[in-house]
A and B are shown apart, each in its own frame.
Chain A
Amino acid sequence: AQKITQTQPGMFVQEKEAVTLDCTYDTSDQSYGLFWYKQPSSGEMIFLIYQGSYDEQNATEGRYSLNFQKARKSANLVISASQLGDSAMYFCAMREANTGFQKLVFGTGTRLLVSP
């Protein structure tokens, strides 16, 4: 069974600094996708970045980058130049890529607080 582990319940960072949110995963599948979502206090899940298991390069989307280390089964999110609006819950998630199903397995999340 797939499992996502986020070991940091909370993280603090000062504005304009970079921060890394940890995510490790466990799966026996060869083909899978890894996602990061942001959830502000409003509740909506906002897609940030995606990494496929066969992608050779780390994914980047603006200030977000995903540090994908396949052998270590880790998919850490790096946020560069943090902004106050980045304060939110962040979830790492995984999806099997071969089944055609959309089911996501989520980690427990990390609450990020950005201070001025």
Chain B
Amino acid sequence: KAGVTQTPRYLIKTRGQQVTLSCSPISGHRSVSWYQQTPGQGLQFLFEYFSETQRNKGNFPGRFSGRQFSNSRSEMNVSTLELGDSALYLCASSPIAGGSYEQYFGPGTRLTVT
């Protein structure tokens, strides 16, 4: 069974630009969560999608948005990029919402904003 895949793996953008990151969950998984990891703030929850609906959102500005498609694939978008958005963005998928199941993480997308 293929794991969680994220594309692209590395990305360099300029301040003010926007970026879209993609996450394909494990087949059959319907819940997708996104996290931002920076040296200063550590790992922070961005949002969670389940059955194409955003179920939960972290404390991030509205420049950060996401969506989930009918095949459970998810995208997150960051508009008007700032230097502080440079981070590793991790996507995680789960079989269901809630319960004791662990989350399976992808390899991440490393975003650099210059």
Residues of A within 8 A of B (CB): 33, 35, 37, 42-47, 50, 52, 91, 93, 97, 99-109
- Chain A residue at smallest Cβ distance from B88: A43
Question: With the chains together, A91 CA to B88 CA distance in Å?
Answer: 15
Question: With the chains together, A44 CA to B23 CA distance in Å?
Answer: 13
In B58-114, the 8 Å CB interface with A consists of 58, 88, 90, 92, 94, 97-98, 100, 102-108, 110
B98 touches A45 (CB 8 A): no
In B18-48, the 8 Å CB interface with A consists of 31, 33, 35, 42-45, 48
Interface residues on B, range: 20 to 34
Least Cβ–Cβ distance between A23 and chain B, in angstroms: 14
Majority DSSP secondary structure for residues of A touching B:
loop
A108 touches B97 (CB 8 A): no
A102 touches B31 (CB 8 A): yes
Question: With the chains together, A100 CA to B88 CA distance in Å?
Answer: 26
Provide the residues of chain B in CB contact with A33, threshold 8 Å. 100
Q: Judge if B17 is at the interface, Cβ distance under 8 Å.
A: no
Q: Using A99-B98, A103-B58 as known contacts, say yes or no to A109 and B105 having CB atoms under 8 A apart.
A: no
B107 touches A103 (CB 8 A): no
Q: Judge if B55 is at the interface, Cβ distance under 8 Å.
A: yes
Least Cβ–Cβ distance between A33 and chain B, in angstroms: 6
- Chain A residue at smallest Cβ distance from B47: A103
Least Cβ–Cβ distance between B10 and chain A, in angstroms: 10
Provide the residues of chain A in CB contact with B14, threshold 8 Å. none
